[in-house]
Amino acid sequence: MQGTSTTAQHIFEQIKTLPSDSLDELATYVDFLRFKARKAEDAEPAEKPLRVVKLGGLLKGYDVDVSPERLAEVRREMWRKFEDIEP
């Protein structure tokens, strides 16, 4: 391809030389390019800052033990259940 100097007329001439069984593939590619162009137009600006969500105190008021020891115990129980499953 000749970059930005490629014209629609040049592309039409190239399409005329394609075998007819390639036209379905070409149509699929054109649909993809149109989709990509629409998606780029609809995209939000990349400069939008990320929203920070603070999770500290999320479980405050609940009677939940989330200590490292309890988490390790729960993991062991979970993996034990997977070990019982036979392939």
Joined together, the tokens standing for residue 66 give 């989330």
Give the list of residues 6+ apart from residue 2 with CB closer than 8 angstroms, or none: 10
User: What residue ranges do the domains of the chain occupy?
Assistant: 3-42
What pLDDT score was predicted for residue 45?
65
pTM over the 0.85 mark: no
At 1 the pLDDT is 43
Q: Quick check: 19 pLDDT over 60?
A: yes
pLDDT at 16 (0 to 100): 92
